[in-house]
Amino acid sequence: MLLEPQEKQKLVSSFRGNKEMSSSWLAGFLSGVIATIIGFLLTMFWDIFKYNRDAGNRDRAVLTAVKEEMISNLDILSSNQKMLQQELTVLPEKRSMVGPLCLLQEGIWDLVKINLPSRLTKDNTLLLIRKLSLLTNEINEIIRSRENYRINNGAMSNYSDRIKLYDEILLPKCSEIIVLFEELQKQLG
């Protein structure tokens, strides 16, 4: 089947039209791919920016909560130390303090475990917070035991001696934890 010259011309021109059509199709396809890649990259950059902003806000909130709890515990420790020292002076006279000792707040370690700010992973800050948490729990248990004894055994003949033992145990523990809190305060700034 031979083609007439006119038909040949038509076929060649239609082929050239397809070539022009395929190049415009290719240009459209490439511009779509490029636009998709640019959109993807912009979305990724935006998500990274939002994540860093939110992580920074969380870290600041956790550090603020840690500092606030630390300040509260230092105030409680100061008050408890004064009460214990006053009580030690009146115990030989078979008198005691009426007010209970305050328990320390224990949330620092739990708060840090849930959301660990990168600033706390430097040096030995995390270890220091763990020590503070353990010592806080120990002091609170001694205070609970002391208060239970104080409330339930006031009529005992050895009451003053026993309370004196509790007080003598608590005072050095309070001094020890104050030093640790002050060290943490220096590290956090």
Tens of pLDDT along the chain (189 residues) come to: 555 666 656 655 555 555 555 677 777 888 888 999 999 999 999 999 998 888 888 888 888 888 899 999 999 999 999 999 998 888 888 777 778 899 999 888 888 878 788 777 777 888 888 899 999 999 999 999 999 988 888 777 787 888 889 999 999 999 999 999 999 888 887
Integer CA distances (angstroms), 130 to 140, 159, 181, in order? 15, 34, 12
* pTM tops 0.75, yes or no: no
pLDDT of residue 15: 52
Side-chain half-sphere exposure of 153, counting CA atoms within 13 A: 14
The answer to whether position 143 is within a domain reads: yes
pLDDT of residue 19: 53
**Cα–Cα distance between 162 and 142 in angstroms, integer?**
13
Q: How far apart are the first and last CA of the chain?
A: 93
In the block, tokens 């998709």 appear at 36
**Cα–Cα distance between 138 and 159 in angstroms, integer?**
22
pLDDT of residue 178: 93
The answer to whether position 31 is within a domain reads: no
The answer to whether position 135 is within a domain reads: yes
The answer to whether position 169 is within a domain reads: yes
Residue 99's domain comprises 59-188
- Under DSSP, the state recorded for 119 is G
pLDDT of residue 151: 84
pLDDT of residue 13: 58
The answer to whether position 164 is within a domain reads: yes
- Provide the 10 A C-beta neighbour count for residue 44: 10
pLDDT of residue 103: 94
When divided into structural domains, the chain yields a total of 1
The answer to whether position 47 is within a domain reads: no
| 181 touches 74 (CB < 8 A) | yes
**Cα–Cα distance between 135 and 183 in angstroms, integer?**
14
Segments in 91-188 forming alpha helices (H):
108-114, 125-152, 159-188
Closest listed residue to residue 109, CA positions, set 78, 85, 140: 140
